[in-house]
Structure 1
């Protein structure tokens, strides 16, 4: 195996670990009084300055020339940035409806949805056997959907028409668009060093996300700005985990099809189960355990087939 495939797999696993830590911190921030939107903005507002300073220092020390920042780059970058904001809001809102591990599992519908989005926007495809493994993961999501809302007593399709299912699948769709957008953005920066392209794209996207959400808060919810800033202690830690996780995701997207990256990223399920048990004292039902196990089997099959 070449160095590049090794790097994207390692980067993806690291990204999943950092992302689990970030979502745990976002859940704590939401429980502490921040809205879903405020908890989402907190991850950007504390990481954007660090990224900006890091890129300025990198350019000053290395002497690397900036690649052209084209309209194609901004189209992919802003599409990815906006849909990531929407996806994160959905996930944070979902945490208040169901436990940590199941919330992350429904988010993983992004894997199957990314196949379609990647084909439509970038012309990238997956193998037939790989798609079969992804489809198995979707079946696991259907198994889990019966456990999402404890008060759901409908039969047939009605039991899938719940707010939790809608939030989970919506977050997956938005993350699918974000992943493909970020891959397109890194590719639009040319053929320079992968790490540099990933860091530059991440810095520009994060600054744009911070400003866009700041404008929204000024117009719609100014009180939340103060609430976010007062929660600076967990916010700074979350910013650091967000920075590390996002950088790893961008490196992986620069090297590999976004659908495969998200598929390997399902290792996040193991991290989320451990995090939910250790940090929040959560326990899973038998049905939830079966659904998560089935989804993990699809991950193992995909890694073996890619």
Structure 2
């Protein structure tokens, strides 16, 4: 098995954990504060990871490149906006619809990867990615009454549009991060990913902290008061980001983000096994489509 596959699956699991923790914090903080803790509390963990690679495993530190500085900053801004929109979805009663649509990221990442990096995907892999997105849509409609008005709201309502916009920003950030990491070639894939992660996370923290000082100081204070819970968001967020950055340094962004759809399967397994929640047949069918798509991407790319 190629290394990027287990790394991506582990990253998806960590992201699922981080999203659950952020949803919990959304009740204590506003959207801005819950977005900030992912980056602000993640910086120390990202720096510690890079330090271990350098000191313990003797990976050399890269020289910053103009591509790193520009692509890392653009990726950081796009990720902030994507995260903000995703957390904003928790304000809607039917946030699950928007969250599901945020999983259209693989298709959008494939488009960004083609435009920016000239990356191509095989026809078979492209069809598998499409099957995965259909699975997401099936899940999003699982608990929606089958009326024209309800279906229209699910497909083009505000949560759906916010979810699509969130996916676009996440797709753009993934391509930007791959660009930044690849610009550091020669220092080893783990250090390339770690160095790009440290830069992007530090940049995001500075940008968001500056914004909050000027526009939402109460949110910054609330984020600091909630450090006991927020530190776990930072830790799980960086654990996931280490996986994403490393996997996207090794492999085409579209394939990595397609495999990452397995996160939604994790979500339903937790709902079923841990919280004993009932799962609709259409949700099971949607999960089967996602699993089939993931297997297809691995075998047919």
TM-score, scaled relative to structure 2: 0.89
Classify the secondary structure of the residue corresponding to 1:108. helix
Between 210-219 and 268-277, report the one with greater CA deviation.
268-277
Which deviates more from structure 2 when the two are superposed, residues 288-297 or residues 93-102?
Answer: 93-102
Q: Pick from 13, 16, 19: which aligns with 1:23? A: 19
Equivalent residue, structure 1, for 2:9? 13
1:282 to 1:224, Cα distance in 2 relative to 1, 3 A: farther
Q: Which runs of 5+ in 2 are unaligned?
A: none
Q: Which residue of 1 aligns with 2:186?
A: 191
- Residue 37 of structure 2 corresponds to 42
- Structure 1 residue 140, shift from structure 2 partner: 3.0
Asked whether 1:90 is paired with 2:82, we answer no
Tell me if the contact between 1:100 and 1:273 (Cα under 8 Å) persists in the aligned partners: no
Separation (CA, whole Å) in 2 of partners of 1:94 and 1:151? 22
Per-residue Cα deviation, 1:113-169 (whole angstroms, up to 9, x for no partner) = 111100000000100111111122233344345458779852775652211101211
Q: Choose the corresponding residue for 1:135, options 130, 133, 138.
A: 130
Matches within 5 A, 1:267-286: 267-277=262-272, 282-286=277-281
**How far off its partner does 1:217 sit?**
0.6
Q: Write out aligned runs for 1:123-272 (5 A).
A: 123-146=118-141, 154=149, 159-272=154-267
SS at match of 1:34: coil
Instruction: After TM superposition, give the deviation of residue 56 of structure 1 in Å.
Output: 4.5
Query: Contact 1:81–1:178 (CA<8 Å) still a contact in 2?
Result: yes
The corresponding residue for 1:76 is: 71
Contact 1:107 1:172 in 2 (8 A): yes
Q: Secondary structure at the match of 1:105?
A: helix
Q: What is the distance in 2 between the residues matched to 1:70 and 1:156? A: 48
Taking only aligned residues, the RMSD between alpha carbons, in angstroms, comes to 2.6
Q: Give the SS at the match of 2:261.
A: helix
Is contact 1:198–1:254 with CA below 8 Å preserved after alignment? yes
Aligned to 1:112: 107
Q: Deviations over 1:39-95 (max 9, x none)?
A: 111111111123234434654566654323121112211111111111111222223
Give the superposition deviation at 1:203: 0.7
The CA deviation at 1:21 is 0.5
Count the aligned residue pairs. 301
Question: What TM-score does the superposition give when structure 1 sets the normalisation length?
Answer: 0.88
Instruction: Kindly state the Cα deviation for residue 187 of structure 1 after the two structures are TM-superposed.
Output: 0.4
SS of the equivalent of 1:107 reads helix
CA shift at 1:288, angstroms?
3.7
Checking the alignment, whether the CA contact within 8 Å between 1:99 and 1:276 is kept in structure 2 is no
Deviations 1:171-225 (A, max 9, x none): 1111111111111111011232111111111111100111100011112111001
Structure 1 unmatched runs, 5+: none
Q: Distance in 2 between matches of 1:190 and 1:72?
A: 12
Task: Indicate if the aligned counterparts of 1:104 and 1:272 stay in contact, CA closer than 8 A.
Answer: no
